[in-house]
Structure 1
Amino acid sequence: MPDPVLSLDTVRLSLRSNAGEVEILRGLSAHAERGETLGLIGPSGSGKSSLLMIMGGLERATSGRVHALGQDLTAMNEDALARFRRAHMGIVFQSFHLIPTMTALENVATPLELAGHKDAFGRAAEELDAVGLDKRKDHYPAQMSGGEQQRVALARAAAPRPDILLADEPTGNLDGATGEAIMDLLFGLRDRHGATLVLVTHAPELTRRCDRVIRLEDGRIAGEGATAEAAE
């Protein structure tokens, strides 16, 4: 097997609560190949979103190792992780996480400016065009529908041309027709930029479009296969 873009080796995650320590992930090992679309499925509370956050360096594993593009994320401090994400990762959340006081164009351009991109606003405009928001660039999030806000979030994630695209329930807050359009855009961005896509989803229609799926139950891998049915 060639070197994977993402690999996790015996990853555990424990969080403290009033009732004591809670084990969220229980020694998971997994990988994602270059250009692959990997779906993370399973019941609520199974650890899917936590696993995705660990892949993105947004949550630190209690033990185990996480490698991305040959770099050991578990050995990086917060500043190094932020720089790595900015250079190599795009992340799409269910709740959009747009800055309300910025226009669509500014929301997409800001991460590019922070990364020192010479034509941040030009690139941002290009990505908004690609998701069908060429006429909404100067609108604020509150002036947009949920589907439009998710399109802005997709454009923001894709603008740096990431090697790895992570999506946490990207259609979870959207109606069926809008969610389907977002799915098409998400896979289009993957194809256009050649990124490895890892997504958390409960949507069977989204899972069927993945190359491979991992099913989680109670913080463990309960199955893995080329389709949702194979992983169940």
Structure 2
Amino acid sequence: MTEPVLSLRDAKLTLQGNAGPVDILRGITLKVARGETLGLVGPSGSGKSSLLMLMGGLESATGGSVQALGQDLTALNEDQLARFRRGHMGVVFQSFHLIPTMTALENVATPLELAGHKDAFERAAAELEAVGLGARMDHYPAQMSGGEQQRVALARAAAPRPEILLADEPTGNLDGTNGAAIMDLLFGLRDRHGATLVLVTHAPELAGRCDRVVHLRDGRIESEDALRAAE
């Protein structure tokens, strides 16, 4: 394996609950290669989403190390993590997290503007066209279906051309038809931009399209399946 895009070594996450500390992740060691598509699967409460959050610097490991693109995420403060994500990562959640007072075009263009791109609206328009929403750019989230809102969220994540794309149950709130369309778009984004894709899913058909699947249980890696060689 060449230099990994993501590397976790004995990563732990312990959170304080009402009854005391709760071990969410119990020592995860994992590497993700450039261009690889990795699926994280397992029962509810197994730590899938928490692991994804560690990879994105959205949660801080309480033990071990988490590196992304050679950068030790555990050494960065909140502002530094935000800048790192803005420059290198796209994140898609099950809930779309769109800004309700902004149009689809504005939702996609805003992170590009924050990153200093002069052509933010042109790039946002092109990304919305790519996900089939060219006719919906001026619509607000409340005027769109769930599938359309998830397409906007995908376009927003992909527009900055991130090296790492993280997706947490991206089809979880969608019906079968829309879920299948979002799957195709996710893998299309990976192919168009060459991003490394890590996704959490309960959908076997989505996991089955990944290069490798990691099974989690009780905060630990239970097993791994290599479905195909990463390109």
TM-score surpassing 0.5? yes
TM-score where L is the length of structure 2:
0.98
CA drift of 1:179 comes to: 0.2
Q: Secondary structure at the match of 1:135?
A: helix
Query: What's the RMSD between the two structures over aligned residues?
Result: 0.5
Aligned to 2:223: 223
Aligned to 2:190: 190
Aligned to 1:91: 91
Q: Give runs of aligned pairs for residues 53-68 of structure 1, distance below 5 A.
A: 53-68=53-68
Can you list the C-alpha shifts for 1:141-184, whole angstroms capped at 9, x where unaligned? 00000000000000000000000000000000000011000000
Aligned to 2:199: 199
- The percentage of aligned residue pairs carrying the same residue is 80
Can you list the C-alpha shifts for 1:89-122, whole angstroms capped at 9, x where unaligned? 0000000100000000000000000000011000
Q: Which structure 2 segments of 5+ residues have no match?
A: none
TM-score where L is the length of structure 1:
0.97
Count of residue pairs the alignment pairs up: 227
Aligned to 1:230: none
Q: Secondary structure at the match of 1:121?
A: helix
Asked if 1:147 corresponds to 2:147, the answer is yes
Can you list the C-alpha shifts for 1:67-102, whole angstroms capped at 9, x where unaligned? 111111110111111111000000000001000000
CA drift of 1:31 comes to: 1.2
Q: Secondary structure at the match of 2:46?
A: coil
Q: Which structure 1 segments of 5+ residues have no match?
A: 228-232
CA distance in 2, matches of 1:70, 1:11: 16
Q: Secondary structure at the match of 1:214?
A: strand
CA distance in 2, matches of 1:199, 1:218: 18
Aligned to 2:31: 31
Aligned to 1:175: 175
Aligned to 2:108: 108
Find runs of 4+ consecutive structure 1 residues off by over 6 angstroms. Answer: none
Aligned to 1:45: 45
Aligned to 2:165: 165
Q: Secondary structure at the match of 2:136?
A: coil
